[in-house]
Amino acid sequence: MVIVMSLLLGACGGAPPTAVSSDRTGADASLGSPAAPRIAASRESSKPTPQAAAKRARPAVNCKKLKCIALTYDDGPSPKTTAKLIKILKKHKAKATFFQLGQLAKRHPKLVRKIHQMGSEVANHSWDHDSLNRKSVKGAHQDLKRASAAIEKGCRCRVRLMRPPYGATDKGVDKAAKKAGLAEILWDIDTLDWSSRNPGKIKRKVLRGAARNRIVLMHDIHRTTIAAQEDIIKGLKKRGYTLVTVSELLGKPKPGKRYPKSWR
Ligand SMILES: [Zn+2]
């Protein structure tokens, strides 16, 4: 069964399934065309410093005791908007999860690394935002593997989560994700940030929909989404929430399984 929550059409990408192929006019417009010239990946030293390791180390979060919520950002990394978001999260000591496109992670490995270093989570959102349910299981698996490799090269970490573009999933996507060692993460709250492009509306969607252990969908490629983040983080903290990564929220999600449960 193909589940395309398109009410939701926001679902990462913003275009309905019928328009999937032309979705780049939607949330991904700022990605530029796939044929856009590639920027050479910058070189980084290959060894994590002890300071970086210490920075990452932090006490385990217990979401059975704490009031947790997971902010997630799709379709990046983008040098302008993601870099700004990293600063905001750091300032508030908040954690989040970034579902990234492999082709952008390859172009911007330093951003991938920075996210990991600050204790946030980097995850897989396919290579270039194709609908994985339109591919064969083999094709979807290859796509996920290629994206994970690019992201892992940037973060020097292991990627364990994926989110299918548009939330378009089916049994074939489940199989491909399982084979790639990735749990499938959908969401509870769709902010429709790609559509409204209105910081006030985005903030209200999050704060009104907030509840314990919920997963919030946003996109870190829109200036308007970034503009809403200070208020969202402050508002959630004021309401007693701890901002955690998806893996912290779910414990050890299983490869090939969909989360939250409402998506199964
Ligand atoms: Zn997306």
Residue (of 219, 221, 213) closest to 246 by Cα position: 213
**Domain residue ranges of the chain, discontinuous segments joined by +:** 58-263
Distance from the alpha carbon of residue 126 to the mean position of ligand 1, in angstroms: 9
Distance from the alpha carbon of residue 88 to the mean position of ligand 1, in angstroms: 22
Q: pLDDT by residue (tens digit) across 142-175?
A: 999 999 999 999 999 999 999 999 999 999 999 9
3-state secondary structure of 255: coil
The verdict on domain 58-263 having CATH code 3.40.1010.10 is no
Q: At what angle do helices 137-155 and 109-117 cross, to 10 degrees?
A: 70
Distance from the alpha carbon of residue 13 to the mean position of ligand 1, in angstroms: 4
Distance from the alpha carbon of residue 123 to the mean position of ligand 1, in angstroms: 12
pTM assigned to the model: 0.81
Q: Six-digit token pair at 191?
A: 């902010």
The residues that are catalytic are 74, 219
- Give dist(CA 120, CA 95) in Å, integer: 5
Q: pLDDT by residue (tens digit) across 183-218?
A: 999 999 999 999 999 999 999 999 999 999 999 999
3-state helix, strand, coil in the chain (%, to 5): 45, 15, 40
In this predicted structure, what is the pLDDT of residue 264?
87
- Give dist(CA 138, CA 257) in Å, integer: 18
Distance from the alpha carbon of residue 53 to the mean position of ligand 1, in angstroms: 30
